[in-house]
Chain A
Amino acid sequence: MSESGSGARELTAGEQRNVATAYEQMAAAMAGWRDAEEGRKRLEAIQSEDLDWFTPSANPRRELHQGREEYIKLVTEFQFDYYIPGSKVEIFATTAQGNRVATEMISDIVLKDGTPYTNRYQQLFIFTPAGKVQVYKLYMDTAIFIRDDNRATAKIGDDFLYALSSGGNLGIRHLLTDEATWQFNNLGCRPVTMDKEAALKRIDKLQERLTGYGFSPVVGSAIVNGPYVTVRAKLAASDLRDRKAVASEHHFVIKTEKPQESSHAGRILGGKIVAVREYIRGGSLPEV
């Protein structure tokens, strides 16, 4: 159970019980991913009613204190709905003293959309004299959530360029929210802001007028932060009216609607676009 080494004292009965309860909490959580009712029952049996559960952070937005009901709901609702069978967490070492048990743990989880989510934790359980979990501190590599959020947001940028280059506009229509706006800044001009329908009409007209209207992303150009993804892409087309080549580099600043809060549960891919701001260099697009 523990790589406690030589010189280790024998754990008291209470300490052994606490270690067993820490293992049971994680087993009960996994049970909740398969069978919500069983998970709830087992967690209620070992967690104090006034459980304080949080990820320690100096940032109050990340150190959200939640209670037993929130923990049970996370396990039996969100994770039950979104994790595939075989997803697991595994405690690989423990350190117990008095009413405290520290556990090192690995998660290996796959969301139902196929996204892997793994993390490394050193949790801290603090127990009541009766042996119930009163405080559950989930120390973990929180930057994983930023990486996964960024990946999910970057995917929206990829989907956007792919749809914009598809020769139709249904893909873009699907990606934009109904209230989405599109601002276009042609070279040397003031910005023009369009609503969704006007933006789609512009794309229709550009597709009619330009042969090869499509964008090749500039490799490594994506910048992601919070709900924003920006990407550079090259357009190489020709104008059907005068057969002149149209070549330009575009910079798209895309605002997504995806909430970007860190979670304990991995990031679901997908999401819509609420605003696009398009800039251009090295050329200009015909006014349509």
Chain B
Amino acid sequence: MDTKEFDLCLTDSERRNVSAAFEMIDAIRSSWTEPQAGRPRLETLLAEDFVSFTPTSDSARQQRLDKQEFIDLIRNQRSQLKSDSSLQIAAHTAHGNRVATEVNSEMKYLDGSSVRNRYHQLFLFDSTGKIAQYRTYMDSAAIVESAATQGEALVRSFVVALGDASPELKKLTSEHFEFRPADGSAAIGVDSLLEKIAAVRKKAGKFGLYPIEGGLVVGEGMASVEAQAPTGFVHSFVVSFDNDQVTNAIEFSSGILEVHP
């Protein structure tokens, strides 16, 4: 059954609500490419007391956005998303002031990563046909997994750059990055660390760090790393990170500098 035939039974206001739900998804998409066009469309569609949230029983993830916060969130996505990201309503169910929409998305990020998701959204309309609530039920595990994947990529790059004494390490670490050696001596910054690892490489001839199987355990903002050197020693680190930079690393046995003093 096509959408038009499926919607024949709807009242005029129900049909208006369905159109508004489709218009909102289209306005979100256009905000990614033409923010000047997207914002006024969202302003028109959303009620002044609009609220958006993802229903969850997890207090740590509960977040409610008002109209301006929601519009800002969509606008800010533009700086992270590629223009061929997609958001598409696959099917809808409407009655009275409620429209439920099944939506598929593929968010393609400028850093090359992408997240696909499936949603069952609920739009609640006020009596004037404005969207009063936007509840996004979704496969939220996809978001958590995506964050973990990004964290894992950062930490893996950090460990490889550390083993190679690569200047790339500077890009991967924050301004106040600290490395705390396994022997419990004072923390050192990235420049001193690079110097020491370069000396180890010079002495050892061949040196590098390669995460062992199961040796990257990445949580929220923190990761455990176990990496083996060609010498057979396993070096372990607990790495903290924030956004896209490593903020500190705590070294455990076997200390690189103990093994290659």
**Which residues of A approach B to under 8 Å, CB–CB?**
2-9, 11-12, 55-59, 62-63, 93-98, 100-102, 104, 106, 118-122, 124, 137, 139-147, 183, 185-191, 221-226, 228-230, 232, 249-251, 253, 255, 262, 277, 279-284
Contacts and interface: CB of A to CB of B under 8 A. Distances in A.
A143 B143 contact: yes
A150 B80 CA distance: 29
A79 B120 CA distance: 25
A56 B116 CA distance: 11
B55 A141 contact: yes
Contacts of A221: 238
A66 to B, nearest CB: 16
A124 B202 CA distance: 63
A7 to B, nearest CB: 3
Nearest to B9: A9
Given A142-B140, A146-B144, A251-B236, A120 B55 contact: yes
Interface of B: 1, 6, 9-14, 54-58, 60-61, 91-100, 102, 104, 106, 116-120, 122, 124-125, 127, 135, 137-145, 148, 180, 182-184, 214-215, 217-219, 222-224, 226, 232-234, 236, 238, 250-255, 258-259
A142 B139 contact: yes
B14 to A, nearest CB: 6
Contact of A277 (B57, B135, B139, B226): B226
Given A11-B95, A55-B139, A281-B182, A228 B214 contact: yes
Contacts of B219: 222-225
Most buried by B among A122, A124, A145: A122
Given A147-B58, A188-B258, A189-B254, A281 B98 contact: no
A266 B155 CA distance: 31
Contacts of B57: 106, 118-120, 141, 144
A186 B122 contact: no
What 8 pairs across the A-B complex have the smallest Cβ distances? A4-B96, A8-B96, A5-B97, A282-B184, A7-B13, A58-B116, A279-B252, A120-B55
A191 B56 contact: no
A5 B120 contact: no
A56 B118 contact: yes
A2 B93 contact: no
Contacts of A279: 226, 234, 236, 252-253
A96 B98 CA distance: 9
A252 to B, nearest CB: 9
A5 B127 contact: yes
A182 B142 CA distance: 33
Nearest to B138: A139
Nearest to A124: B120
B139 A57 contact: yes
B100 A95 contact: yes
Nearest to B18: A97
Contacts of A187: 182-183, 253-255, 258
Contact of A7 (B91, B96, B118, B215): B96
Given A225-B148, A253-B226, A95 B99 contact: yes
A97 B6 contact: yes
Contacts of B143: 143
A6 to B, nearest CB: 6
Contacts of A283: 184
Contacts of A57: 117-118, 139, 141-142
B251 to A, nearest CB: 6
A104 B144 CA distance: 23
